Structure 1
Amino acid sequence: MPEDDGRINGVNLGGWLVLERWMTPGLFRASGEEDEIWLHRSTDPAELERLLRRHRDTYITEDDFRAISAHGLNLVRIPVPFFIFGDVPGHPGCVEYLDRAFDWAERAGLKVLIDLHTVPGSQNGFDNGGLTGVVRWHTTPRQVAFALDVLERLARRYRDRPALYGIEVLNEPVDRLTYLMSPSSSRAKDPGEARGSGHVPMRFLKRFYRAAYRWLRPVLGDGPVIVFHDGFRLNRWRGWFVREGMRGVIIDTHAYLVMSERPEVLFRILPDAWLMRWYRLFAAWGARRIRRAARFTPVMVGEWCVANGLAARMGECGAQGEVASVDASGGAFDGYGAFGDGGADVGDGASGDVGSRAGDAGAGVRRPPRAPAPSNAPAPPSRPPPGSGRSPPPPPPPPAGGRGGGFLCSGGRQARGAVCQIRGAVKRGGPGGAGPRPPPRRRRAVYLRVAAMQLDAWNVSAGQVYWSYRLRGGRGEFDRLAPPAPGMGDGDAAVMDDTRLDPWDLRHVWHAGWMG
């Protein structure tokens, strides 16, 4: 996916410094907890240190930065926790890993967007916000001030690093509709801790964004950009950033196709052709919203994915071997079990294997030409140099937390943690089966079409960042994936068995050729 026009074309390094159970279930297995804060609270401190160090040392390495660059990407968005500096008791810091990331990025020719993904008391109640079912950060001035202090310290530490593209002030502060619709809002482990929770009001969010800008811009100077998530309210910002006199800013919106497949009971019975038409409408609607917002302030799609229910419908999930569909109603986008665990006992990022789970397919449509970046967009990162590169248990219950509900990713990655439910009557082929599994080419064709229509829609933005680079399993699991089918060239790299592949993992997408 090389870029010739200098637009942002990146990938998120999710699951590395901010843990999400659906991405690294092995880390949560012993404790049984649903989110990172409770994992820290319930684990012996010495064991927690060992667990996190082993994970952080192996989940992402310099080889991954080389691979990202070699595939033509130019930016990594790195989610970081509020305890990154190690000054919050009970929560081991990780700033040394961010230091390494900058070293690796500079050697690979990549830019880095630092993303403050969690804050004390949580800004959304999703597991990706660190504390499921709790949204009280904005009600406590001391916690708000702490978040601003973390942002300033990050800016001072990295402002002189050539790889710094910018800092994202806060990931996915939740709006009223998303908070009311999200299953995670009622799943706090300690109801007392969640007492007083509620959505982050627009009035407060504007005050916080104004303060963050005034703290960051003098430190960063005029170069690095400051990124503000739309809070699932993209078209409510209009000219606010301009009126505030903010320069070098970008609005981040998150757009997941699976979030449009609601109510799930309806989309499960739609004919394939109808579903594909719906996808086209969703992408066009998203592009219109982005274009409208970008008249005032540049917009980037900071999280997106090729995952979709139509491709999952063509795959297999779990031991039953029936056609799977995505149940996006109760999962957390950042809950584990995206497209099913397939009965796999997956590792923690240092060991394990990838379970058999449904893949989402891709379609043989060439990627459309790129539109020029908005003229008022801050300078994008430069393009990197070429080559700088059991019996199975039933599916687990949906995790607490996730990215809330909504539409153009109102609720972000909620569906990403959706568990792959066994539905339908089409059995796996072979002895006892009722028919052959749809060939990988058909799934690949769906994926390719879905990827092309989304990338075409995101052309009106300042760029896009895929979620995510890698998911569960150990470092060796990717090497054990089936190779491309014989006779398939790099441009037509369909795998013989893509049921082990996950569309949320960009490495798998590359391996299967799901984006061409």
Structure 2
Amino acid sequence: MQRACVVLFLLIGLALSVPNNHVADRIRNGLPMRGVNLGGWLVAEHWMTSTSSLWDDIPGDVVQQGEYALMKSCGNFEGTRRFGLHRSDWITEDDIEEIAKSGLNAVRVPVGFWITGFDMQGGDESQDWKVYAAGALEYLDLLVQDWAKKHNIAVLVDLHAARGSQNGYDHSAPKFFNKSTWSNNTQNVENSIDVLEFLVKRYKDEEAFLGVGCLNEPGGTTDENVLKLYYTKAYDRIRAISSKHLFGVAPLITQQQLNASDWQSFLLAPKHTDVIHEWHKYFKFLGWEDKTEDDVLKYVYGELKSDIKNWKGNRLFIGEWSLSTNPSAPFKDASRWNTFASGVVDAYSNAPAGWTYWTWKVSNDEEQVLPWSLRSLIRAGKFPKF
């Protein structure tokens, strides 16, 4: 009997000493992310979810403006009903299982500030969260606490839509389309910190939870100094809750290159730990509209790879990227496509924190191969090995 007890205690001790085998733990310890965004799910964008019943009978000028305009157009009751259907169907456990079987290890999940169900900051916009459809949190819970845990996928939660809007784009669900007022007052900024704090408190003990991205694509009239102060204050608040979760910092959308401002010396170790620096790199916008295939390939195999390798700041993370290009660079020839796609994947694989593709799925991607949709590329055998 005594020997049996000793064996039992040894087994219990061994079990307790076994390290966490979930991939999120390994990513926090240096394994690069090889992941995908769950775009269009908890922050809706019409261009990529156009077949969703969310947008039925909504005027064309409204659908381009994001969730706030949609909810104002159809009313809270009907909008909440529509979002309930959309969220239950757009991403399911089957998607997470397929993501895992594809060899990916992480998902980046866009959320809006309203996911908390409160706003403690007051001011003119303190009631705006009530305009948006409730219920997103239960799906984020499902993802973090069940699906991602079961299928060994790490979850990075990204504040995609901040109170006041950080860029005025539809994906920030702005109250006033094309207007970014986030950095105009302290209450907006403090609300964003509250959201990050809420998320980390809620999920800090969940093994699939990787951390937070603090702000998606700040741009428009967002003030760089306010942005950096926000990151600094948010870091202190988050580290008071958790010392191990990733803390994602994004520069202004116009500063996502090697020597922009002083980002390479911002929030560095040893004083600051587990900070990742996020770039979004596309071949569609910001000067790429008329570039040829040769222009794209020259950049991919030259400046892009060089910039990533020469980055000296916090671990670089390519949080959004796509193989979608403009008509001036169609890459219809299979050989040219392979040269392009493999070059991009190779370049981004040099980012120490890894990458997450934009996005997992888009409307109509089961009928045709669409470069915005990673699942359609993988299913068609058009995505390089990684």
Please confirm whether the aligned pair reaches a TM-score higher than 0.5, indicating the same fold: yes
Residue 64 of structure 1 aligns to a residue whose secondary structure is helix
Is the CA contact (8 Å cut-off) linking 1:78 and 1:114 kept in structure 2? yes
Instruction: Report the CA distance between 1:29 and its aligned residue.
Output: 4.0
Residue 223 of structure 1 aligns to a residue whose secondary structure is coil
Q: Does 1:256 align with 2:298?
A: no
Is the strand fraction higher in 1 or 2?
A: 2
Instruction: Report the CA distance between 1:306 and its aligned residue.
Output: 1.1
Instruction: Report the CA distance between 1:277 and its aligned residue.
Output: 5.0
Is the helix fraction higher in 1 or 2?
A: 2
**Pair 277,262 (structure 1): closer, same or farther in 2 beyond 3 Å:** closer
Match of 1:225 in 2: 246
Is the CA contact (8 Å cut-off) linking 1:86 and 1:92 kept in structure 2? no
Hey, what's the Cα distance between the residues in 2 that align with 1:502 and 1:153? 36
Instruction: Report the CA distance between 1:510 and its aligned residue.
Output: 1.1
Match of 2:90 in 1: 59
Match of 1:165 in 2: 210
Hey, what's the Cα distance between the residues in 1 that align with 2:302 and 2:279? 15
Match of 1:38 in 2: 69
Q: Which has the higher contact order (CA 8 A, sep 6+)?
A: 1
**Pair 92,6 (structure 1): closer, same or farther in 2 beyond 3 Å:** same
Match of 2:268 in 1: 242
Partner residue of 1:464 out of 338, 351, 355: 355
Superposed CA RMSD in Å reads 2.2
Aligned pairs for 1:79-478 (under 5 A) are 79-87=110-118, 88-93=129-134, 94-102=136-144, 103-131=146-174, 132-174=177-219, 179=220, 199-220=221-242, 222-232=243-253, 233-234=255-256, 235=259, 236=261, 237-242=263-268, 245-259=271-285, 262=288, 264=290, 267=291, 270=292, 275-293=293-311, 295-309=312-326, 313=327, 361=331, 442-461=332-351, 462-473=353-364, 478=366
Hey, what's the Cα distance between the residues in 2 that align with 1:299 and 1:143? 27
Residue 155 of structure 2 aligns to a residue whose secondary structure is strand
Match of 1:71 in 2: 102
Instruction: Report the CA distance between 1:203 and its aligned residue.
Output: 1.1
Instruction: Report the CA distance between 1:469 and its aligned residue.
Output: 0.2
Hey, what's the Cα distance between the residues in 1 that align with 2:286 and 2:188? 34
Is the CA contact (8 Å cut-off) linking 1:228 and 1:250 kept in structure 2? yes
Hey, what's the Cα distance between the residues in 2 that align with 1:112 and 1:292? 28
Length-normalised TM-score, structure 1? 0.61
Hey, what's the Cα distance between the residues in 1 that align with 2:301 and 2:280? 12
Is the CA contact (8 Å cut-off) linking 1:284 and 1:457 kept in structure 2? no
- Give % identity: 31
For 2:274, give the aligned amino acid.
Answer: G
**Pair 261,242 (structure 1): closer, same or farther in 2 beyond 3 Å:** closer
Aligned pairs for 1:7-26 (under 5 A) are 7-26=32-51
Gaps of 5+ in 1: 180-198, 314-324, 327-359, 362-441, 482-499
Hey, what's the Cα distance between the residues in 2 that align with 1:466 and 1:43? 32
Is the CA contact (8 Å cut-off) linking 1:444 and 1:513 kept in structure 2? no
For 1:89, give the aligned amino acid.
Answer: K
Post-superposition CA distance 1:369-394 (Å, at most 9, x none)? xxxxxxxxxxxxxxxxxxxxxxxxxx
Gaps of 5+ in 2: 1-25, 119-128
Post-superposition CA distance 1:135-186 (Å, at most 9, x none)? 0011121121111111101110000000011111111111xxxx4xxxxxxx
For 1:296, give the aligned amino acid.
Answer: G
Is the CA contact (8 Å cut-off) linking 2:106 and 2:156 kept in structure 1? yes
Post-superposition CA distance 1:83-106 (Å, at most 9, x none)? 112332121231110000111001
Is the CA contact (8 Å cut-off) linking 1:447 and 1:515 kept in structure 2? no
Length-normalised TM-score, structure 2? 0.80
